[in-house]
Structure 1
Amino acid sequence: MSIDRLSIKYIVIEDEPLARRGLVKLLGAYDYLDCIGMYSNTEDARLVMEQQKLDLIFLDIHLSEESGLDFAKLVSPQVQIIFTTAYADYALASYELNALDYLLKPISEERLRKSLDRAVSYFQNRMMEKKETGESDHIFVKADRKLFRLELHTIQYIEAMKDYVMIHTVDKRLMVAMNIKTFFSQLPTKDFVRVNKSFVVNLNNIESVDSQWVTVAGKEIPLGASFKDAFLARIEKHTINR
């Protein structure tokens, strides 16, 4: 299988230093892998994930501060996860989280290679889909232990709820375990914009705008002072382009 031009950006989250360094050393043999960092805890990893685009996480399940399974529930569906653990009894839980693979420690080179073959196949298919269809007109989100396909034009606005977001569409509401900054980063910037710290709106579904409020689907959303100038500039550009 050709892997030309394929670059998979990954991080390792593992609280055992020897295991962490050992895995990164094994992964270094694959030139299509780009290591963004290795971390002993999920808090440090979150900071990097908010700042950089990421494709893959090698995630230990038994972490000292937070379970890898709990952390995985908050990861964007666009980021794939390969669990690493010394315990075989978490395989079902990883399957329910749609993990790309599940590696038992100690990880052999042969087993790791098979896992990476699966990753290559997944990301190559995704590249081909993007190439064939151009910019995607839909996203997939995890909610209620299911994967939902949402057409972007049906999304009216997204509302932050601590570590979750509520997606309001024309016919449903979905609660997704992800913070609003991470979710916003997965949306096409030409159609979606933040109007305050807690709301993202679809520019195509805005009904009215004034100096203090944005109305979408009958809901008045306050226009945050620090977001106002950028938002109004986007509105003007969007109107011209349409």
Structure 2
Amino acid sequence: MESKLLCYILEDEVAAVNILKKHIEKLSDIVDLVGYTSDFLVAKSILDSIKIDILFLDIRLPKTTGFKFLDLLQRKPQIILTTAHTDYASESYEYNAVDYLMKPISFEKFEKAVFKAIGKQDINSNTIQKSLLPKNKKYVLIKNSENNRILKVNFKEIIYLESKNKSTIFKTINQDIQSSYVLGQWERNLPENDFLRIHKSYIINVNFIESIEKGKGNIKLANIDKPFPIGDQYKIKFQNHIDNNSVQL
């Protein structure tokens, strides 16, 4: 998967196309619109020549149906169906559609559908994909390795990250989330002003620092009972952070 998901719209209603375009623009750090059409033959040509990640597909089309169109494709992207009718739900499951969106499509439901599609993509385990870390945003998309769901988590809700069995546990205000990425991958991609590696097993959100124990140097985080040790190789970097933020030990 590239740094952005490539998407395409096959839809014959102008109003629906405009709504989808506006929604896609709001997630422009994650998805990129290749194009749109109401002509299924044009769409087939595009999808056969370009690897599209997500297809927003109207079920009722001029001269054909969305399902018949899918049967024509050499390779199928993730399918998000769009319709004003409720009587196609069973067929959508048969075609393994990511989601079934009723018109008019709200941004909230659109966003959830896109996150579902990301969760179904094959993500390179060697790097954190940029699509999961939208540029200049205040949140991160975390693929929960326990159920493959994509969760949108605000940075301000993440208390700390812990390395565990070649995976990473996100401890947030509301829940624990397990990611298949190792801690070092997250360290290279999280905002440096807010997140600091203090130990081979921990990255903390510095905004949750409540106190620092003199002598032992353990860190107390708000809402967390256990202390967090500072590893020897991380002490200088941590001290520099403390000095730069005018905190006296």
Return the TM-score normalized by structure 1.
0.48
More helix by share: 1
Return the TM-score normalized by structure 2.
0.47
Rg (Cα) greater in structure:
2
